[in-house]
Amino acid sequence: MASLPSLRVLVAAPRGFCAGVERAIQIVELALEKHGPPVYVRHEIVHNRFVVDSLKAKGAIFVKELDEVPDGAQVIFSAHGVPKSIPATAQARGLDWLDATCPLVSKVHRQAERMVEQGRHILFIGHAGHPEVIGTFGQVPDGVMTLIETVEDAEAVQPPEGPLGFLTQTTLSVDDTADIVATLQRRFPAVLGPKGEDICYATSNRQTAVKAIAPQCQLVLVIGAENSSNSQRLKEVAAREGARAHLIQRAAGIDWSWFDGVETVGLTAGASAPEVLVQEVLDAMRARFDVRATDVTTATEEVVFKLPRALVAA
Ligand code: SF4
């Protein structure tokens, strides 16, 4: 048999599941163990088809809205967070609900509430229509928060008179957000920002790891879903560093013509993509190339979030 062409693969670390995604999946699995199927989940628990299908196979039923959940059933809210009206409606209907909102998203929710208590109008940096943005807007009364998606928005926004604050979605591009924040701070020097970063540790660590590998790669593959914000940002970061970048759900999504003329390929995975898919992609490469794979580690992560008391209590 002819020898396989050689391929160097740089595998970014950290990559894949973050602590918020691990926790959300565990909440659904523990609820299924404790209550037995079916357990209803409002929206994709995390933005990954493989994860959603695995939980469906164990008895989870995914719904868009609460009115699809029958009376008396158990329902779980996704990691991205929900408007306050959702748990309130669940409570009013007497549903047995659990909240899998990532604690780092909940932190932004509390910051938003505090800014509103201080009488601030909030400039919220995020992507229109993303469930996290819908959830955060749903923490505060209508009209007290304005969405800023771009530097152009930051240049054009005309907020009401009075004190201002800004907050951000947790899964944004670190670099783009810095430009937007700088624009807001130039235009509104007294604008109050969050004490720490709102962009979460997992998002920024994964972007840093991609920045480390992408300049050495002709091609970077990001395992993640189209609707996963942090995965889309990884693709953008890789492209900015000069690599051709593609988002794939799993090995089957690879177009092998992408590899023509490629000597070094980078590989990473968004925060909602499991490691098993990274290994699947590496195996698919090994079937076609003589692969030399190296992990390039730019940070180690030890973050673990507590589970809801209702699930861990004896
Ligand atoms: S990406 Fe960040 S904010 Fe989102 S679930 Fe993971 S840790 Fe939480």
104-187: which CATH topology? Cobalt-precorrin-4 Transmethylase; domain 1 (3.40.1010)
What is the Cα–Cα distance from 56 to 59, expressed in whole angstroms? 5
> What confidence tier does 272 reach under pLDDT thresholds 50, 70, 90?
very high
Residue 152 has a pLDDT of 98
- Dihedral over alpha carbons 126, 130, 134, 136 (to 10 degrees): -50
- CATH assignment of 19-102? 3.40.50.11270
CATH code 3.40.1010.20 region(s) in the chain? 6-17+201-297, 104-187
What is the Cα–Cα distance from 171 to 237, expressed in whole angstroms? 13
> What confidence tier does 1 reach under pLDDT thresholds 50, 70, 90?
low
Mean pLDDT of 198-213: 97
Question: How many helices (H) and strands (E) in the chain?
Answer: 11, 12
- Dihedral over alpha carbons 73, 57, 306, 107 (to 10 degrees): -80
> What confidence tier does 260 reach under pLDDT thresholds 50, 70, 90?
very high
Mean pLDDT of 60-81: 96
Residue 314 has a pLDDT of 52
Quick check: CB of 46 below 6 Å from ligand 1?
no
User: Longest C-alpha distance within the chain, in Å?
Assistant: 74
Quick check: CB of 104 below 6 Å from ligand 1?
yes
Residue 104 has a pLDDT of 97
What distance in angstroms lies between residue 96's CA and the mean position of ligand 1's atoms? 25
pTM (2 d.p.): 0.95
What distance in angstroms lies between residue 21's CA and the mean position of ligand 1's atoms? 7
What is the Cα–Cα distance from 161 to 177, expressed in whole angstroms? 24
Residues recognised as catalytic: 132
Q: What does the block give as tokens for 64?
A: 């868009």
How does DSSP assign 116-162, residue by residue?
A: HHTT-EEEEES-TT-HHHHHHHTTS-TTSEEEE-SHHHHHH--PPSS
Mean pLDDT of 142-168: 98
Handedness of CA 107, 167, 134, 43 (dihedral sign): negative
Are the C-beta atoms of 69 and 75 separated by less than 8 Å?
A: yes
Residue 195 has a pLDDT of 80
Residue with tokens 């959702």: 86
Mean pLDDT of 175-199: 94
Mean pLDDT of 89-105: 96
Could you tell me which residues are beta bridge partners of residue 62?
41
In degrees rounded to 5, what are phi and psi of residue 54?
-65, -40
Q: What does the block give as tokens for 249?
A: 């759900």
What is the Cα–Cα distance from 184 to 200, expressed in whole angstroms? 20
Quick check: CB of 79 below 6 Å from ligand 1?
yes
Mean pLDDT of 33-61: 95
CATH code 3.40.50.11270 region(s) in the chain? 19-102
Which CATH class, in words, describes the domain spanning 6-17+201-297? alpha beta
